[in-house]
Chain A
Amino acid sequence: MKVMSDSAPRRSGASGSGARRPALRNRTVRTPGGLSVRVDVRGFTVVAGLLLAALTASVVLIGTGDFPIPAADVLRTLVGEGNQGQEFIVTELRLPRVLVGLLVGAALGLGGALFQSISRNPLGSPDVLGLAQGSTAGALVVIVLFSGTASQVTAGALAGGLATGLGIYLLAWKRGVHGYRLVLVGIGVAAIVTAVNGYLITKADLVDAARAVVWMTGSLNGRDWSQVEPLAWMCVTLVPLVLVNAPGLRMTEMGDDVSYALGVRVERLRMLLMVAAVLLTAGATAAAGPVGFVALTAPQLARRLTRSPGPNLVPSMCMGATLLITADLASQRAFGADQLPVGVVTGVLGGVYLLWLLVTERRAGRI
């Protein structure tokens, strides 16, 4: 092949400020038997860093409260070597709350990454598409109309989220679900459900209304082992299912035709992953309320750290967990335990961080 006629002069990549350089290359491990596994070095580093951050924040968070426990004691207790008093506080009171936070954050991060990839739109996250509002409607119905128990509220939220997910899918379906239609339909559904939620609140008496508003902010207060278990099961089932389908999802980023030509069964894949994303989001919201901004920001933050195209599913998941647990830590440190619901902090932290990133990237000429 002759040299191409239009090879534009290479940009002064290495020296110029703000020049874009590709991320570190992939490393491949191959066995003699013909098996091979490819690892994105930078993505791997990001995931390791996020996990470390989440772990550190968790340990500090467990030590935080009316009875502060030093980090060393927390770690000792977690491996079963602490004294009885500490053991009770750690494993019965604070650990379940932290685990719920980590699992909810991870589920929201993963659900958000799936939705953003499927809709090919950074705004296509569950809180924008109306899923969070749908869960809220389910919870409000139980609180306001039936004055239900906590576990009934959880069930109501789960049902509301799943029903909304199904509704959005059916409304957006026209020879397959496509990006912008999904976003538009979702925004419409969100508006309608928000109106319904407003109506329900006005119908509530004062006690129920206060309870509803706390739920709607998203909070980890008073979470115990009974919430950890279903969340853990959900993640154990859905995460592997999603990750097995991740390579196909990467291909769909190049458009339906290209991915179809490459052998991806686009519509089936999208349906499967949307169901998984709805379950993850609805499950997480049922456990902690509609914690704002995690599903929207986690995938964007993760992507900017890995600098890798693709849905960045695992980094988004770790980012979600880190974000939520850090937000909970910040709210408890700044305002004392049980004062400020974590949803308020995720909104502020996530929003500020995203703005900061957008501003710095704009300066670097990246957007």
Chain B
Amino acid sequence: MNRLSAENVTLAYDQRVIAEQLSVEIPDNSFTVIVGPNACGKSTLLRALSRMLKPSRGRVLLDGSVIQSMPAKKVARTLGLLPQSSIAPDGITVGDLVGRGRYPHQGLLRQWSAEDERVVRESMESTGVAELAERYVDELSGGQRQRVWIAMALAQQTPLLLLDEPTTYLDIQHQIDVLDLCAELHEEQGRTLVAVLHDLNHAARYATHLIALRAGEVIAEGAPADIVTAELVEEVFGLRCQVIDDPETGTPLVVPAARKARTRVAATGAS
């Protein structure tokens, strides 16, 4: 039995249904990546797994309990989330922001323990922002800022960490930087990571477990090497492509077909 799973959930915003009867298991100690075209419900699924969105039917289970019924701080000590939208308060320093990740471990008379201090320092060191501790968050670059937010989520010290498109708005070297960091957290610290990613090639390279969604349905799941094929990419994304071995890592690499090849196929397909 895995620690986090969704059982037959129906996910909807008001009347707009995103997914019905969706079931997903997050394998323990995996780096699970959810992929799919825009509006397929991947972020919605992540929101449900992190209890931001209450399923209108079905349930999300964390350690065998329905996640909504658990005390908020207890969940926050087990499962962390790095959402897409976050606001750095005006005039906050990096150290202060990362320190706020300790909130679920604190109380009225346990405001800042030696443990808090140690964990915050370690979180900043493992994300490479320790030397920025005294700097203001709003004067950092986008890449640095994303590391600071990840450090904050790490300071929460949760065995499970969910990340909603952690590489959006970053340029290529910072995307790889953040993904390397995630892989490191997964491999060296043994955390279970779940991330929503846009880039299928990044997903195939870094994930140990891939979930491909289309229109609120799981089309395939498993190790990238086992499931990423040209057929799957066409089924999920509607894109003709070749899948070759990544020359660096040997993982599947999706190469979209040339424009001419694709239009010719579309033309013959229509006739």
Contact = CB atoms under 8 A, between A and B. Distances in A.
Interface string A171-205: 00000000000000000000000000000000000
8 contacts: A1-B127, A4-B144, A7-B144, A36-B111, A261-B83, A262-B101, A308-B91, A310-B89
Given A7-B144, A30-B113, A262 B103 contact: yes
B99 to A, nearest CB: 9
Interface string A326-360: 00000000000000000000000000000000000
A85 interface: no
B19 interface: no
A236 interface: no
Contacts of A263: 72-77, 103-104
A251 interface: yes
Contact of A255 (B83, B110, B117): B83
A2 B184 CA distance: 11
A3 B112 CA distance: 28
Contacts, number: 126
Interface of A: 1-8, 10-11, 20, 22, 26, 28, 30, 34-38, 120, 244, 247, 250-251, 253-255, 257-258, 260-265, 307-310
Contacts of A253: 87, 89
A182 to B, nearest CB: 16
Interface string B69-108: 0001111110011111111111111001100110110101
B44 interface: no
Interface in B108-137: 108-114, 116-117, 125-129, 131-132, 134-136
A6 B144 contact: yes
B143 A247 contact: no
Contact of B111 (A10, A37, A244): A37
Nearest to B47: A257
A270 to B, nearest CB: 14
A262 B50 CA distance: 11
The 9 closest A-B CB pairs, nearest first, are A263-B76, A257-B83, A263-B73, A261-B81, A309-B89, A38-B112, A263-B104, A309-B92, A4-B128
B147 interface: yes
Given A1-B181, A22-B96, A34-B113, 7 more contacts: A6-B141, A6-B173, A36-B110, A254-B100, A262-B104, A263-B103, A307-B91
A37 B77 CA distance: 21
Nearest to B51: A260
Given A1-B126, A258-B83, A309-B96, A38 B156 contact: no
A37 B109 CA distance: 6
B174 interface: yes
A28 B109 CA distance: 12
B110 to A, nearest CB: 6
A255 B181 CA distance: 24
Contact of B100 (A26, A35, A38, A262): A262
B76 A30 contact: no
B206 to A, nearest CB: 16
Contacts of B103: 247, 251, 262-264
